[in-house]
Structure 1
Amino acid sequence: MPESDPDSLEYVAGQVEALHERFKQAKDKVMGVTGENPFGAIRHPDERAPGEHPSDGMVHALGTFRDGVHQQFDAAAELMRSTGSALRDAARALRETDDAARDSVTVKDGASRI
């Protein structure tokens, strides 16, 4: 009969949940344009709207990209949280099963009987 190891499951759950925090930290490092525009003049002046900076389109594109990357990090972080929770639930179920099995076994005269 295979042996269950709920302590190992809980350890792995903790490691997976730590990934959740690492995803959040990594997400914070993905930023859009702040401060002076690093792209300079990208669009031809005849192609921009009145009052628009020549590279506003690039700044908008980068902002849209950043938002998409942030959504991916959020989804991955949530997946890590859910995985950790599922592992903890599995560890709890293993413990409950082990406890129920222990209660079902009767020991008489030094021999196990079921």
Structure 2
Amino acid sequence: MPESDPDSLEQVAGQVEAIHEQFKKTKDGVTGVTGENPFGAIKRPDELEPGEHPSEGMVDALGTLRDGVHKQFDAAAELMTSTGGALRDAARALRETDDAARDSLTVRDGSLQV
């Protein structure tokens, strides 16, 4: 019969939850264009709308990409939090089952042959 190891489950839960923090830190490193636009003029001057900066389209595209990447990082971080919680719940259930079995089992000297 396999042995349950709630302590190992809780250790893994802590490691999974630490991934949550790594996702949050990495997400902060994904930024859009700040300051001067590094792409310079993307459109030719005759293609510009009145008042449009030559590379606004690129800045907007990068902003949309950044927002999408941020959403993916947020979703992954939440998944890690949920996974950690599920592992902790499993560890608690194993402990409760072991405790209940210990309390319910009475072995009298010589009465149980294995």
Decide: shared fold, TM above 0.5: yes
Residue 19 of structure 2 aligns with which residue?
19
Distance (Å, rounded) in 2 between the aligned partners of 1:100 and 1:86: 21
Residue 54 of structure 1 aligns with which residue?
54
Q: Secondary structure at the match of 1:108?
A: coil
Shift of 1:47: 1.3
Greater share of strand residues, 1 or 2?
1
Contact 1:105–1:112 (Cα < 8 Å) also in 2: no
Q: Secondary structure at the match of 2:36?
A: coil
Residues 16-70 of structure 1: CA deviation (Å, up to 9, x unaligned): 0000000000000000000001000011111111111100000000000000000
Counting only pairs closer than 5 Å after superposition, residues 37-48 of structure 1 correspond to structure 2 as 37-48=37-48
Counting only pairs closer than 5 Å after superposition, residues 68-79 of structure 1 correspond to structure 2 as 68-79=68-79
Counting only pairs closer than 5 Å after superposition, residues 1-114 of structure 1 correspond to structure 2 as 1-109=1-109, 112=112
Q: Secondary structure at the match of 2:31?
A: coil
Shift of 1:111: 5.6
The two structures have a TM-score, normalised by structure 2, of 0.95
Q: Across the two proteins, how many residue pairs are aligned to each other?
A: 113
Q: Secondary structure at the match of 2:107?
A: strand
Distance (Å, rounded) in 2 between the aligned partners of 1:21 and 1:110: 54
Shift of 1:107: 2.4
Unaligned runs of 5+ in 1: none
Distance (Å, rounded) in 1 between the aligned partners of 2:22 and 2:103: 42
Distance (Å, rounded) in 2 between the aligned partners of 1:85 and 1:67: 27
Distance (Å, rounded) in 2 between the aligned partners of 1:27 and 1:84: 20
